[in-house]
Amino acid sequence: MGQRINIQYSVDIDNLGEEIERLLRGSFEKIADLQSYCVIPQDALSLKTLDNVEEMRQKLLSIDSSLRDIVYITSGYVSFQAELAKQQNETERHMPEEIDEVTD
């Protein structure tokens, strides 16, 4: 796996769920690809075993990185929603209550 860098980009809030689903599908595909490595070789103490294990480790790092991105994005969204709800509650609390007055 090559070097990784952190980037930031914006996504329309209406498309955020689709973006998370895309990232999840990619992670699931990478996990499924690992299945082919889950075989005990005849000669466990070999260069091939070493290469396979190292390749699996690199793939796992990539999966972990993708899942970390999902956690950051989702936690950011949850925090945004919580802050939005808090602001709405404060706004409603400071608004004067409507009073029905009977005028003669």
Q: What is the Cα–Cα distance from 33 to 31, expressed in whole angstroms?
A: 5
Cβ proximity of 58 and 18 under 8 Å: no
Q: Which amino acid is at 22?
A: R
Kindly report, residue by residue over 46-76, the tens digit of the pLDDT: 999 999 999 999 999 999 999 999 999 999 9
- State which residues of the chain have pLDDT below 50: none
Residue 98: predicted pLDDT? 57
Share of the chain above pLDDT 90, in %: 69
Indicate the domain borders of the chain.
16-91
Long-range contacts made by residues 56-62, C-beta under 8 angstroms, separation at least 24?
58/1, 59/1, 59/30, 59/33, 59/34, 60/34, 61/1, 62/1, 62/30
Spatial CB neighbours of 43, under 8 Å, sequence gap ≥ 6? 49
Question: Whole-model pTM?
Answer: 0.78
Token reading at 65 = 């990185």
